[in-house]
Amino acid sequence: MKVAFVFDYVMHYHRATLQAIESRVRDLGGQFTLYTARHAQAGTGRAPLTTAVVGDQRFYTLAEKYVGSYALRHQQGLVEQLEQQRPDIIVTMCHSGTWSEWLIAKNKRKWGSRLLAWQCGYEYNPGLLKRSVLAAFIPRFDMHLCYHSNAKRYAIAHGARPEQTLVMHNTIDEGAIVAGDKLEARRSLEQRHPQLAGKRLVLYVGAVLEEKNLDRVFEALARLKDERNFFLLVGDGPYLATLKQRYAQRSDWLAAGRVVDGVGSYFDAADVFVLPGTGGLAINEAMAHRLAVVSGYADGSADDLVQDGVTGFRLQGDSVEELAHRLGQLLDDPGLARSMGDAGEQRIRGDLSFERFIDRVMQGLLTQAKPARQ
């Protein structure tokens, strides 16, 4: 079984996933190849890895152009490499604006390949033109490995058959996370940031982009009018300068910058994790650190991860009032926050664990392998 994954950007959170799949495929006597863009830039606040993460990693040149709000891409040299290799299974990110993905779909039968989508269902509420494009594009895939239940619904809505979809419950390797002692983590952070002493910490970790809706956190804390509350923002991105300018006069927040190594201490020290806009895997990491989560739709995964009133609160709308109310509930009731954090940890280390995620990915790959089709 020859398996090829195509990821334009390999982020730090992809490393464990790709290495685990590579290991499983090799254990079965198969070959695993990762194709990725050379010198790809994923944007400020989202820095892709620049070193190889698997044994057989090959490269292509990514050409990208924006026409209005549409991103058009071509993975130069990829189709030629795949034609030479002719994998049994090709897994792509399923971006309808990527011309080379259309070419792969056109040639898959000639190559004897099955085409699988690494489906995140990222195009929210597409317009008429995009819906028409998706209706022609989505059915070209033999199977959709869906990030979450909403991604499954997305694939089916645009032409996939239900039996062609499998919900993976994309996650991080929670086994690599050992939640630390809260008091020790607080002392450590307070030494670096004395202004955190005695504060109730609302944590956000991720890229700082306008679509993250971080302004709502500032507005929610202003409504709560409690000087003990403090917003700890860990991350970088183009919207950070706007936040710094807009809230320069407020002393109830700190931008700690982008942190990868050592970010666990921020999770361990916090009282609640907040994700009012887009995002996803930070929820998984917060749950592994026993943090209650207050989240909006995120990338669609929140509906599977955040059990409302059990592991945190799933925001039902975009109102600042609701966000303030939920944050206030958890900050005013540490016992409730702890119980929700404990429930979240059990969930992320149980049915939604990394090991079970990889099991589901392999299930999808194996159902599409040649022996299963003969």
Is the per-residue pLDDT at 260 higher than 90? no
Is the per-residue pLDDT at 277 higher than 50? yes
DSSP code, position 8: S
Beta carbons of 77 and 60 less than 8 angstroms apart:
yes
CA distance 126 to 368: 29
Indicate whether 112 and 238 sit together in one domain. no
371 — pLDDT class (breaks 50, 70, 90): very low
Indicate whether 120 and 187 sit together in one domain. no
Which pLDDT does position 43 carry in this prediction? 53
Indicate whether 234 and 312 sit together in one domain. yes
Distances (CA, A) of 311 to 15, 30, 295, 303: 27, 39, 11, 11
- SS3 category, 52: coil
The letter for the amino acid at 2 is K
Please give the average per-residue pLDDT across 246-273, as a whole number: 94
Indicate whether 94 and 184 sit together in one domain. no
Of residues 299 and 35, the one with the higher pLDDT is 35
Q: What is the pTM of this model?
A: 0.91
Indicate whether 267 and 230 sit together in one domain. yes
Question: How does DSSP assign 12-37, residue by residue?
Answer: GGGHHHHHHHHHHHHHTT-EEEEEEE
Indicate whether 105 and 230 sit together in one domain. no
Q: Pseudo-torsion of CA 336, 342, 345, 350, nearest 10°? A: -120
Indicate whether 247 and 119 sit together in one domain. no
- The burial of 321, by beta-carbon neighbours within 10 Å (0-12 exposed, 13-18 middle, 19 or more buried), is given as exposed
Indicate whether 108 and 232 sit together in one domain. no
Structure tokens at 363: 């299930």
Structure tokens at 373: 């089709």
Cβ count near 178 (within 10 Å): 10
pLDDT > 70: percent of the chain = 96
Indicate whether 106 and 167 sit together in one domain. yes
Total H helices, total E strands in the chain:
15, 14
Which pLDDT does position 122 carry in this prediction? 73
Indicate whether 210 and 130 sit together in one domain. no
**CATH number, residue 138:** 3.40.50.2000
Mean pLDDT over all residues of the chain? 93
Which pLDDT does position 124 carry in this prediction? 64
pLDDT tens track for 286-322: 999 999 999 998 788 889 999 999 999 999 988 999 9
pLDDT tens track for 143-200: 999 999 999 999 999 999 999 999 999 999 999 999 999 999 999 999 999 999 999 9
Which pLDDT does position 313 carry in this prediction? 98
Which pLDDT does position 373 carry in this prediction? 45
25 half-sphere exposure, CB direction, 13 A CA radius: 26
CA distance 255 to 160: 43
Indicate whether 195 and 84 sit together in one domain. no
- Name the β-bridge partners of 2: 31
Indicate whether 186 and 72 sit together in one domain. no
Which pLDDT does position 372 carry in this prediction? 40
Task: Find where tokens 């807009």 sit.
Answer: 246
Please give the average per-residue pLDDT across 316-336, as a whole number: 96
- Packing angle of the helix pair 354-368, 15-27 (nearest 10 deg): 50
Which pLDDT does position 40 carry in this prediction? 60
Number of structural domains (the chain) is: 2
pLDDT tens track for 193-237: 999 999 999 999 999 999 999 999 999 999 999 999 999 999 999
- Domain region containing 51: 2-171+353-373
Q: What percent of the residues of the chain are helix, what percent strand, and what percent coil, each to the nearest 5?
A: 45, 20, 35
pLDDT tens track for 93-123: 999 999 999 999 999 999 999 999 999 987 6
Is the per-residue pLDDT at 42 higher than 60? no
Is the per-residue pLDDT at 284 higher than 80? yes
217 half-sphere exposure, CB direction, 13 A CA radius: 31
Which pLDDT does position 280 carry in this prediction? 81
pLDDT tens track for 349-366: 999 999 999 999 999 999
Please give the average per-residue pLDDT across 43-63, as a whole number: 85
Which pLDDT does position 71 carry in this prediction? 85
Which pLDDT does position 205 carry in this prediction? 96
